[in-house]
Structure 1
Amino acid sequence: MKRGLFITTEGTDGSGKTTQIKLIESYLKGKGFEVVVTREPGGTSIGEKIRSIILDTENSDMAYITEMMLYASARAQLVNELIKPSLSEGKVVICDRFIDSSYVYQGFGRNIDIELIERVNRIALDGIMPDVTLFFDIDPEVALERRIQSTGADRIEREAMDFHRKVYNGYKKLASMYPDRIKAIESNRNIEEIFSDVKAYLDKFS
């Protein structure tokens, strides 16, 4: 059986990923694909428990290295339990955040050495990398204001704007380093305009 397609979405909180994921899922199902949608951290029973620890606002004293290891642990479980089996069955997997989030949030944002993040996540990834990553590119101040007005702020979202700016700049740098995989989509537009660009990329892979 042909290996499935692995799509990840990235962007600062409030960039519109959730809305676009729903549209992507519907679009690909309409083309006859079996689609699995998941998220990071989370996506499994174990991963969701780790997610609650990471995002809990009471855990403000969490060490940066602990945060990085928790993300990698949730990722390892998700890859082993859901992503690899689904891809081996020929399904399309759409994941809200993946390895690039660790590079930008813990690497660029927390200043943890990128090579250390790579070494730890090499085990967690178990050879799995996205076929295409859609980076929803929007100014972090605009995006975060949207998110907080909508759902409130978790532990990561409560960080200072300087942190979120570093994360955003990290995304921009990754997109320039890996243009074949990471597709930047200007996201300060209406939903239909954004999805038009998304479909153009999807059609090349599906």
Structure 2
Amino acid sequence: MAGRFIVIEGLEGAGKSTAAACVKKFIAAQNVELLHVREPGGTELGEALRDLVKRPDLDDAPAAMTELLLMYASRAQLVETKIKPALAAGTWVLGDRHDLSSQAYQGGGRQLDQQLLAQLRDMVLGAFRPDLTLYMDIDPVIGLERARGRGELDRIEQESIDFFHRTRARYQQLAQADDRIVTIDASQCIEQVQQDIERALQQAVQQWQ
């Protein structure tokens, strides 16, 4: 089977790590190789950019447009040096976030021009898109409570609740417009979330065969 690119998206506290474990278990049953990457990050350059973007103690915090461009610099490096070569070799790639995050966080949360974001996406990625995106949908209030339970929040996690409501609204809008994005209700019990993820994966694999 050809390499496939599966991405997990969602707000802080949406259960992306739990979802990733479920996807990894499913992929292992397909008897294919797997590469797990994260954004921003996934490469030496990307991890350095991740630190700059997320550090809460920077006196010179990135402006909204700077943040966006740093995200795309990290993404371009990851796609060209890790993801595309893996897919070409028949390896499946699991991404912890991808371009949908920029469209939601910078386009929704930061309220940057959505047409500009689409143009930037097309310039950097061309027609490259995930084969399947699992969007873990959750109320920001619940998600941030979970995130705080994990420890200190990073710079983006410290944004206002209105920022996250805007981000969620943009996520939902984008998910409804793309049949390669499956929305998972992340507020359900973990057993039901896992069942919904497995169902989405099974349906996707049937279409790919």
User: TM-score of the superposition, structure 2-length normalised?
Assistant: 0.93
| Matched-pair contact (CA < 8 Å) for 1:134–1:182 | yes
Q: Secondary structure at the match of 1:127?
A: coil
Task: Please say if 1:62 is aligned against 2:62.
Answer: yes
Q: In 1, distance between residues paired with 2:52 and 2:199?
A: 37
**Residue 149 of structure 1 corresponds to which residue in structure 2?**
149
- Give the drift of 1:205: 2.3
Alignment deviations for residues 99-132 of structure 1 (CA, whole Å, 9 cap, x no partner): 1100110011111111211222223324320111
Q: In 2, distance between residues paired with 1:115 and 1:141?
A: 29
Q: Secondary structure at the match of 1:154?
A: coil
**Residue 196 of structure 2 corresponds to which residue in structure 1?**
197
| Aligned residue identity for 1:3 | A
**Residue 25 of structure 1 corresponds to which residue in structure 2?**
24
Q: Tell me, which stretches of 5 or more residues in structure 2 are unaligned? A: none
Alpha-carbon RMSD? 1.3
| Matched-pair contact (CA < 8 Å) for 1:54–1:67 | yes
Q: In 1, distance between residues paired with 2:121 and 2:45?
A: 17
**Residue 97 of structure 2 corresponds to which residue in structure 1?**
97
Q: Tell me, which stretches of 5 or more residues in structure 1 are unaligned? A: none
Number of residues paired by the alignment? 204
Q: In 1, distance between residues paired with 2:2 and 2:76?
A: 19
Q: In 1, distance between residues paired with 2:123 and 2:75?
A: 10
Runs of 4+ in 1 over 6 A off after TM superposition: none
List aligned pairs for 1:161-200, cutoff 5 A.
161-178=161-178, 180-200=179-199
Q: In 2, distance between residues paired with 1:87 and 1:51?
A: 24
**Residue 140 of structure 1 corresponds to which residue in structure 2?**
140
Q: In 2, distance between residues paired with 1:126 and 1:48?
A: 23
**Residue 9 of structure 2 corresponds to which residue in structure 1?**
10
List aligned pairs for 1:43-54, cutoff 5 A.
43-54=42-53
| Matched-pair contact (CA < 8 Å) for 1:12–1:143 | yes
Q: In 1, distance between residues paired with 2:42 and 2:125?
A: 15
Q: Secondary structure at the match of 1:184?
A: strand
| Aligned residue identity for 2:168 | Y
Alignment deviations for residues 52-95 of structure 1 (CA, whole Å, 9 cap, x no partner): 00001023632100000000000000001111001111111110
User: TM-score of the superposition, structure 1-length normalised?
Assistant: 0.95
Q: In 2, distance between residues paired with 1:200 and 1:149?
A: 29
| Percentage of identical aligned residues | 37
